[in-house]
A and B are shown apart, each in its own frame.
Chain A
Amino acid sequence: MSLLAAAPRDLAALMPLVREASELRFIAGGTDLLAQPGALPRAGLLLDISGIAELRGIALANDGLHIGAGTTIADIAESPLIRRHIAALAVAASQCGSVQIRNRATIGGNVANAAAAADLPPMLKCSGAQFTVMARGGQIRRLAFDELMPVTGGTRLAPGDLISNILLPTEELLPRSGFVKLGRRQEMTIARLNLAMQASYDPGSRRFGAVRLVAGAIGPAPVFLARAAAALTGASLSARTVGVFLDALVDEVDRAIPGRASRPYKRRAIIGLGLDLLAQLTGCDAAELPFEGGSP
């Protein structure tokens, strides 16, 4: 037995290959698969889906923003539509890897790889993303974020399943968004912690409306930080609000990683990230945010 390969140019050519192969592995950008020694199978069928145009593209429809799973992370970072409707997703994309990586890596691959420190899934969870998954037998399902990526980590993709599209529903998109990431380096770095936020915020009254907040790299999968989000919801941007918010962030770290050696570091780090996130979302300078207390 040896490895065979096929590179279909459209979904109509792809699906029979998927149905008939006993063992198969998809490759799109290849930046996760080829970076792992020995990850390429030695037998079965390697299906290169990078040439399928139907899997690429970003479009605004009545139900929301549609992003083809084969869309590169570079295209997401530069997309005027993404920047207009969910700007922080473009920010997150611009911080994935390097230029070389972003030119090849795809949003579908980033989701399917389900790395705990991945940069796009937190923003996707925060945005209520839904995934269209094509099964080997031809069935098409639409899955909510937690249905595809459970809080226990990994994905619920079965062999032969292919993510074809990601939908960010209109009703889930709030007017403002923010994404911050902490790594060991400024660029080309894996997140030690990242935060993704969507919110309504009136700069005139300096008051928040609805707020959603998700943390990544704090467990096996992105998690909602409900208590920290609640600290901002309906509140004005005051020193007390910021303090309660930061205390809530620290508490979320304590709950998420109680026995981990990184907990003391992340308790402090999340305070800085929280301030950076508020600055990004409100348009204030982080140094000028009203701030009292906050647990060290």
Chain B
Amino acid sequence: MTAIKAEGPEDVVNPQPHGGGARLPTMLITVRVNGQDHRAEVEPQLRLSAFLRERLQLTGLKEGCREGECGACTVLLDGEPVNSCLVLAIQADGRVVETIEGLADADGRLSDLQTAFVTHGAVQCGYCTPGMVMAAEGLLRRNANPTPDEIRQALAGNICRCTGYVTIVKAVQAAAEAGDHRR
């Protein structure tokens, strides 16, 4: 793996020795990500968002704010939506993570929810979309028939600068009507 230049302690992504310095202490973690087990030595400061994006090349989730305000980094942790920028990779040890890349089936066919986002115009620039879809997926697994208010409440932690949210709510409603989100 090509070493990636670290911007700061929180962005350390490569356990290889840094130029002239000692190896940082690490912890061995085992995380199931999108159905596959991954073992890795990670530094204590490494955020789950950086681990997923830089180590596992799962760049669907985005880092928009790094403080849990925008929701662009939302993934499911043991089935529950979380801001991956506010979870350390070491805290995902022994747990199950699902990212946007894991929603399509093995043949690459988009899920009902992903399809609904596309067909209802709920995607414009696309930056918020992975996090928005994962937050919606988390909702639909708990509540298969949410009201519009329940959808808006569930997505209150996800910011979109493009759509005005109306098409997003409609897409989630359509997906609720179309699909079975039980896992």
A and B form one complex: yes
Q: Could you tell me the distance in whole angstroms from the C-beta of A127 to the nearest C-beta in chain B?
A: 25
In the assembled complex, B47 has its CB within 8 A of some CB on chain A: yes
In the complex, the chain B residue whose C-beta lies closest to that of A74 is: B80
Tell me, rounded to whole Å, the shortest Cβ–Cβ distance linking A61 to chain B: 28
Cβ–Cβ contact B45 & A31, under 8 A: no
Write out the residue numbers on chain B whose beta carbons fall within 8 Å of the beta carbon of A42. Answer: 9
Q: Does A182 contact B (CB under 8 A)?
A: no
| Chain B interface, number of residues (Cβ within 8 angstroms) | 37
Question: Are A188 and B157 within 8 A (Cβ)?
Answer: yes
B27 touches which of A5, A31, A99, A101 (Cβ 8 Å): A5
B147 to chain A, nearest CB (A): 15
A104 at the interface (CB under 8 A from B): yes
Q: Does the CB pair A5–B44 fall under 8 Å?
A: yes
The proximity string for B residues 1-33 relative to A, scoring 1 for CB distances below 8 Å and 0 otherwise, is 000000001100000000000101101000000
Q: Which of A2, A101, A188 contacts B24 (CB 8 A)?
A: A2
Instruction: Please state if A40 and B156 are interface contacts (CB–CB under 8 Å).
Output: no
Contact of A50 among B24, B91, B156 (CB under 8 A): B91
Residues of B within 8 A of A97 (CB): 68, 157
Complex contact A35–B45 (CB within 8 A): no
Q: How far is the CA of A28 from the CA of B154 in the complex (A)?
A: 23
Residue B74, interface by CB 8 Å: yes
Residue in B44, B67, B87, B152 whose beta carbon sits within 8 Å of that of A104 in the complex: B87
A257 at the interface (CB under 8 A from B): no
Identify B25's interface contact among A2, A7, A31, A188, CB under 8 A.
A2
Partner of B157 from A29, A34, A99 at Cβ < 8 Å: A99
Cα separation A34 to B89 with both chains bound (whole Å):
12
Interface of B: prevailing SS:
mixed
Is the interface on chain A under 10, 10 to 19, 20 to 34, or 35 or more residues? Answer: 20 to 34
**Given that A3-B45, A104-B82 are contacting pairs, would A99 and B9 also be in contact in the complex, using a CB cutoff of 8 Å?**
no
- Please, which residues of chain A bring their CB within 8 A of the CB of B153? 99, 187
CB of A99 within 8 A of CB of B90, answer no
Contacts of A186 in B (CB 8 A): 156
Distance of A172 Cα from B88 Cα, bound (Å): 38
The answer to whether B24 touches A103 (Cβ under 8 A) is no
The interface residues of chain A lying within 8 Å CB-to-CB of B156 are: 98-99, 186-188
- Determine the chain A residues whose CB is within 8 A of the CB of B152 once the complex forms: 187
Residues on A with C-beta less than 8 A from B94 are 51
Q: Provide the bound-state CA to CA distance between A201 and B177, in Å.
A: 43
Q: Is the CB of B138 within 8 A of A99?
A: yes
Q: Whole-angstrom distance between the alpha carbons of A42 and B45 in the complex? A: 9
Q: How far is the CA of A97 from the CA of B156 in the complex (A)?
A: 9
**Does the CB pair B25–A34 fall under 8 Å?**
no
Tell whether A59 is near chain B: CB-to-CB under 8 Å. Answer: no
Please give the distance in Å from B23's CB to the nearest CB on chain A.
9
Q: Which 6 A-B pairs have the closest CB atoms?
A: A98-B157, A187-B156, A5-B44, A35-B67, A103-B80, A100-B83
Known pairs A2-B24, A5-B25; list 5 more (Cβ under 8 Å): A34-B47, A34-B87, A35-B68, A100-B71, A101-B86
